[in-house]
Amino acid sequence: MDLSENSLSGPIPGDLFQQCGLLRSISLASNKFSGQIPDSLGSCSTLAAVNFSSNQFSGPLPSVIWSLHGLRSLDLSDNLLEGEIQKGIEGLNSLRTINLGRNHFMGQVPDGIGGCLLLRYIDFSENSLSGSLPNTMQKLTFCADLNLQKNSFVGDVPEWIGEMRSLETLDISENNFSGQVPTSIGQLQSLKVLNISKNAFTGSLPASLINCKNLLAIDISQNSMTGSIPPSVFKLGLQKVLLSGNKFSGSMDSLFLSLTKSLNQKLQILDLSQNALSGEIPSSVGDFSSLQFLNFSKNSLIGSIPASVGELKALNTLDLSENWLNGSIPLEIGGAISLMELRLEKNSLAGKIPSSIDNCSSLTSLILSQNNLTGPIPAAIGKLTYLQTVDLSFNKLTGTLPKQLANLPHLLSFNISHNQLEGELPAGGFFNTISPSSVSGNPSICGAVVNNTCPTVLPKPIVLNPNSSDSNPDSIPQNLGHKKIILSISALIAIGAAAVIVIGVIAITVLNFRVRSSTSHSAAAALTFSGGDDFSHSPTTDANSGKLVMFSGHPDFSTGAHALLNKDCELGRGGFGAVYRTVLGDGHPVAIKKLTVSSLVKSQEDFEREVKKLGKIRHHNLVALEGYYWTPSLQLLIYEFVSGGSLYKHLHEGLGGNFLSWNERFNIILGTAKSMAHLHQMNIIHYNLKSSNILIDSSGEPKVADFGLARLLPMLDRYVLSSKIQSALGYMAPEFACRTVKITEKCDVYGFGVLVLEVVTGKRPVEYMEDDVVVLCDMVRGALEEGRVEECVDRRLQGQFPAEEAIPVMKLGLICTSQVPSNRPDMGEVVNILELIRCPSEGQEELV
DSSP H helices, 193-345, are 252-262
Torsion sign over Cα 376, 381, 383, 385: negative
CA distances from 342 to 268, 287, 319, 334, 424 (A): 17, 19, 6, 11, 27
3-class state of residue 692 by DSSP:
helix
Which three-class secondary structure string do you get for 735-789?
A: HHHCCCCCCCCHHHHHHHHHHHHHHHHCCCCEEECCCCEEEHHHHHHHHHHCCCH
613: left (phi over 0), alpha (psi -120 to 50) or beta: alpha
240 forms bridges with which residues in the sheet? 217, 269
Instruction: Please give the full DSSP string across 96-162, using - where no structure is assigned.
Output: -EEE--SSEEEEPPPGGGGG-TT--EEE--SSEEEEPPPGGGGG-TT--EEE--SSEEEEPPPGGGG
Instruction: Convert 46-76 to b/e letters by CB count within 10 Å (16 or more is b).
Output: ebbbbbbbbbbbbeebbebbbbbeebbbbbb
Q: Which residues pair with 79 in a beta bridge?
A: none
Which residues, at least 6 apart from 344, have a Cβ–Cβ distance to it below 8 Å? 305, 320, 321, 325, 329, 367, 368, 371
- CB burial of 182-212 (b: ≥16 within 10 Å; e: otherwise) equals bebbbbbeebbbbbbbbbebeeebbebbbbb
Q: How many whole angstroms separate alpha carbon 248 and alpha carbon 228?
A: 5
The runs of H, that is alpha helices, within 461-527 are 489-526
Whole-angstrom distance, CA of residue 666 vs CA of residue 661: 9
DSSP secondary structure code for residue 568 in this structure: G
CB atoms closer than 10 angstroms to residue 778: 12
How distant is the alpha carbon of residue 251 from its chain centre? 39
Which helix or strand (DSSP H or E) is residue 834 part of?
A: helix 827-838
Q: What is the sign, positive or negative, of the torsion defined by CA atoms of 244, 249, 253, 257? A: negative
Q: How many CA atoms does the CB half-sphere of 506 hold within 13 Å?
A: 6
Question: 650 by DSSP, 3-state: which?
Answer: helix
Beta bridge partners of 234: none
Q: Are strands 702-704 and 766-768 parallel, antiparallel or unpaired?
A: unpaired
Separation between Cα atoms, residue 638 and residue 624, nearest integer Å? 9
The separation between CA 770 and the C-alpha centre of its own chain, rounded to angstroms, equals 22
Q: Is the distance from CB of 155 to CB of 172 less than 8 angstroms? A: no
Q: What angle do CA 682, 685, 690 make, to 5 degrees?
A: 125
DSSP code of 61? Answer: P
- Residue 475's identity, in one-letter code, is S
Give dist(CA 782, CA 475) in Å, integer: 74
Find the farthest-apart pair of alpha carbons in the chain and give their distance in angstroms, rounded. 124
Residue 594 annotated as binding?
A: yes
Helices (H) and strands (E) in the chain, counts: 11, 45
CB count within 10 Å of CB 534 equals 10
Task: Tell me how far apart the terminal alpha carbons of the chain are, to the nearest angstrom.
Answer: 29
Extract the annotated binding site for ATP: 594
Extract the annotated binding site: 594
